[in-house]
Structure formats: structure tokens, C-alpha cells
Amino acid sequence: VNVRVSSLTLLGAIVSTHAPLPEVQLLLQQPCSSGLSNSNSATPHISPPDWWKKAPSGPFLEEAAVSSPKVSSEPCWLIRLCISIVVLPKEDACSGSDAGSTGGSTYEPFPLRLEALQVLAHLARGYFSMTQVYLMELGEVICKCLGEADPSVQLHGAKLLEELGTGLIQQYKPESSIAPDQRVPVSLVVMFWTVMLNGPLPRALQNSEHPTLQASACDALSSILPEAFSSLLSDRQILCITMLLGLNDSKNRLVKAATSRALGVYVLFPCLRQDVIFVADTANAILMSLQDKSLNVRAKAAWSLGNLTDTLIVNMETPDPSFQEEFSGLLLLKMLRSAIEASKDKDKVKSNAVRALGNLLHFLQPSHIEKPRFAEIIEEAIQALISTVLIEAAMKVRWNACYAMGNVFKNSALPLGTALWTSQAYNALTSVVTSCKNFKVRIRSAAALSVPGKREHYGSVDQYAQIWNALVTALQKSEDTTDFLEFKYCASLRTQICQALIHLLSLASASDLSCIKETLELNGDMVQSYILQFLKSGTERDDTGAPHSPQERDQMVKTALEHISSVQALAGDTAKRAVMGFLEDILTVHFDSSGSQVALLGLTNR
């Protein structure tokens, strides 16, 4: 037995290293008997030659064969071997071998079966294009494992289910390179999950004697493809939701953490996110978990709260206002209070708490903001974000805090520009953009500074000047770092700062022009050279995720020039002319070189 277990461990190591490797895939697809290949082929020979035909055939296999994607029909001998070890009686699985049997056991020894299940999980993670051919058959293997008495077998079955579910989700992600006709059809995924939910999975979720199994079953349930979930029968959907909401009350921290995470996955499902009752129930469950003594539970709950608030923003951007109108203002207050408290927690919790705060402040409607009970909590929430931007926390925390501040600035109903916290927020961001060691955090702070859409949102002339000067300083210092790893972000940082400067120019008032002129007299050549680089840099994607075509970049400068020319300057004021001349020079130099640039682009495209 030990030799066979060790052999499977070695095979598991091979298929989990730098997967998928084409040479490993080729070896896995080799025929497994002399009857299937040239007799000289150095491929595994397992006796009897037709052993793989003896694997169980259930009612779903025929339909699975019809519906499966068009991939190589050549069987994977390792998947077949592992299935046979897990489900076949030992006397049939490997006749004539010294399987190390100890009388009375019908199946192969537990260590061997568990190792085979682990190898199947590795294959599902690394070689899903091969594993998907066996989807329904593996579903039956999982049902068999979950239905057994031994918790270890059940646990490994649940882990395999999670890996298969994750593989299916990866296929349907927008950035997936898998061609549609190579994916497992949604109808087959629906059938697969229907089998799971009609089988022993619900029992595993309710097995309070084995909390590790419950937690693993929760993780598996969270790996359901959203497109498949929406096509399940309504009673199966309700079963999933009811079980998760119920398990959130578990006294076991493993179960509670897994449930909190699963609810955070479900709240993003398109078919659930506009259901006000489900979103509210999920919010209450998550807020309860945020109070838990376990850091792991609180971290998972904070992540789910971030997801839930992402859902609020998605719903806010839909034409139908009913969700916003029906969502409880009292619950919003509770969420804000909990997120403020969580922002004082450990970094694992804090990073998602500030993300949630940014979304919640973005989501607030004028009807909320005008209520006195919201005024104090809004002030507290913004102060929590400001302090998180400035503290020496993990860079992910500060990045999220800067991102959240940008979200706050998107809410035009907030008194940005007139409120006392305006200057504190801008001071925090300008401090980061000029001095933070981490360039990705600097990029995010520059992006936040370019969000406000009106001149009055930037406050007084002095406040505007401070932001403008800070961005120019940040541009000067955009290569000042002792950390070699930060150099790769220099170009993205300059791109974002240039966008912010052009944005500020496109909103400038007559009173702002003298400050801009003074800065350009000192640093005009430097700023101009970087803006010209920005205009020529093509369609690179900056750290904010927004790609800009050359035409869009040109238009940004033209818009700024048109705005400055329309500003009513005071008589005798030379600042307007100086700023206009600066922008005109940039466009002239840029378009003088654009002929060669177009030619270069043409050659690149060829």
C-alpha cells in the first residue's frame, strides 16, 4: 500500500507543478493499454487491459458524453485510475495485486483512496480542460464520497467539488481565453449542481459533528457558476441561500468564516444582487460576523461586506431606482458604523473595511445625507478614511483607502469643497502622492485627486493651488526611489499625474491661473515633456484600469485649452495667456511629430 500511495503522491506533485505543462498533458493522454496504442509505446500498462471500462456508469454519463465540449476524446489514464481506486471494490480494481488488504474492507485502503482523491483535485485545478470530460462521472464519485461514513473521505470529496466548481467559474470569466465551444455548456453545469444538491451535499452542510467538513462544503457551495445558479430550480436556489444564512449562526469559527465568505460570493450573483430582501439578510449576517472574536471570521466578513457594497454601487448604476428606494436607511447606518469600527481592526480586516466605507459613502442618496442622524456618521467615516490613507499600514490597506476616497468624491450630493473635512482629505492625498514609498499607492492617490468633476469641489483658491503644486512636485519626484521594484511603476505614475494635471486645468477658474503660471515658469519644461510623453504613449492601460486611446488623450488637452480660453480673465492679467500658450505649445509639438508617430503605429500594426 505504501508504495502505491507514494506513487500517487509523486504523480500528484507532477500534475500540480507549474500546471498546465504541455508535456505532462501529452503523457496524461497516452493510451493506457497495448490494445489502445502501439505495443512499443512506453505508456502505462495496467492489467487487465479493459480495467478502465469497469468504472461505474450512472444515469448522467450518456448525456454528459453528448453535451461535453469538443476536446480530445482520448481518455486520461490517471483520472481513470484514480476513479477506479476510489469507487471500485479492490478485488476488481487491481486483480492479482498485493493491495495490502486487511480482511473485511470492500474498497481499497483509506490512504490510497484519499491520495487518489487528492490527485483528482490537483488535476481539476491544473488540467481542467482534460478533467471536464469526466465532469458528470466525477460528480458521481463526489456523491459517493460525501455519502460515506468516514469524514476524511467526505472531506476530500468536498474539496474535489470545490476544485471542479472553481474550474468551471474560470472558464466563464470575461478574461478567459477558452473558446465558447470548448467550455462545459451551462446546461451541463446546471445538471451537475442539481445532482450535487439533490445528493448528500446538504447533509454534509448540516453535519455539525464535523465542522471541518461543513466548512469545506460551504466552500464548495460558493464555487457554483453564477450562470448555472440562476438556472437552478427555485427550490434549489432557496436551499443554498437558506443553508448559508443558517450556518452563519454556527458557533464554530471555521464554519462561520466559510459561510461569511460564501455569502460574499452569492451577493455578487446577477440573479440575486437586486433582491433587496436577500441583500439585507446577507448584510445583517455579515455585520454579525464582523463582531466575532476570531480574526479569520472578521477578515472574511469584511471581504464580504466589501463585495456587498460593490453590489450597492452596481445597483445604483442601473436605470431602475427601486433598489435604492427600498434599501433600508437604518441598515445603511448600521453598515457605516460597523465599517468604521472594522477600519480600526487588524490590516486583514481594515483593508476591506475602508473599501466598504468608500462604497457606502458613494451610495448615499441626498435623502440620506440631509438627515441629521447621517451627518455625524458621514464625518466619522471620512475621518476614518483620512487616517487610514496616512497611517503606516500595509500598502494594500493604504491603496484601498485612496481608492475609497476617490469613490467618496464621486458622490456629488456630499458637500465636497465646503465641508471642513475637504481640506483634510486633500491634504492626506497630496501627502501620499508626493512622499509614499509605494508607487502603486501614489498612483491611486493621483487617480483620486482627478475624480471631482466641478471646480467648486476642489475648495478655495489656496486649496486648488496646494493640489496643483503637489501634483507637479510628484511628477518631479516620479523617478525618486531606492527600491528597484518600484521603477516599473514610474510610467504609470507619470501617466496618472498628467491626467490629473490636465483635469485640473480643464476646471480652473480665473483666480487659479496665477498659481498655475508661477509653477509653469519654474517647471514648465519638465511638465511639458511628461505631458508630451503621455500623449505619445499609445493605448497602455494605467493602474486605474482605464485605457486611453491617443485620440482621447489629445482630446483631454484640447478640452483643457478650450476651457482656459473661455475663462474671463481680469484686465491686464497675463496668466491666462501664459497657460494657453503652454497648452498650445504642447499640441503644436505633439502634432508636428504625429506624422512619424502615425507611420510608426502603422508599422507596429503590420
Q: Check if the beta carbon of residue 397 is closer than 8 Å to that of residue 352.
A: no
The size of the chain, in residues, is 606
Amino acid identity of residue 43, one-letter, is T
Residue 87 CA, distance from chain mean position: 37
Residue 570's pLDDT is 74
Q: Check if the beta carbon of residue 232 is closer than 8 Å to that of residue 220.
A: no
Average pLDDT over residues 565-589: 90
* Residue-wise pLDDT tens digits, 163-202: 999 999 999 999 999 999 999 999 999 999 999 999 999 9
Residue 546's pLDDT is 52
- Does 39 have pLDDT greater than 50? no
The C-alpha atoms of residue 167 and residue 288 are separated, in whole angstroms, by 31
Q: Check if the beta carbon of residue 546 is closer than 8 Å to that of residue 490.
A: no
Residue 66's pLDDT is 45
The C-alpha atoms of residue 322 and residue 548 are separated, in whole angstroms, by 34
- Does 535 have pLDDT greater than 60? yes
The rounded percent of the chain whose pLDDT value lies above 70 is: 86
- The band of 34, judged by pLDDT with boundaries at 50, 70 and 90, is very low
Average pLDDT over residues 549-572: 89
Residue 38's pLDDT is 37
The C-alpha atoms of residue 450 and residue 446 are separated, in whole angstroms, by 7
- Does 56 have pLDDT greater than 50? no
- The band of 577, judged by pLDDT with boundaries at 50, 70 and 90, is very high
* Residue-wise pLDDT tens digits, 419-474: 999 999 999 999 999 999 899 999 999 999 999 999 999 999 999 999 999 999 99
The least confident of 53-67, 233-247, 533-547 is 53-67
Residue 93's pLDDT is 42
Which of the 8 DSSP states describes residue 89? B
Residue 49's pLDDT is 33
Query: Could you give all domains of the chain from N- to C-terminal order, each with its CATH number?
Result: 1-30+75-89+107-173+180-224 (1.25.10.10), 233-414 (1.25.10.10)
Which of the 8 DSSP states describes residue 133? G
- Does 54 have pLDDT greater than 90? no
Close Cβ partners of 302 (under 8 Å, ≥ 6 residues apart): 290, 342, 345, 348, 349, 350, 351, 352, 353, 356
- Does 330 have pLDDT greater than 80? yes
Give the distance between the most distant pair of CA atoms in the chain. 104
The rounded percent of the chain whose pLDDT value lies above 90 is: 77
Quote the mean pLDDT of the chain: 87
Residue 65's pLDDT is 43
Residue 594's pLDDT is 65
Average pLDDT over residues 119-142: 96
Amino acid identity of residue 160, one-letter, is L
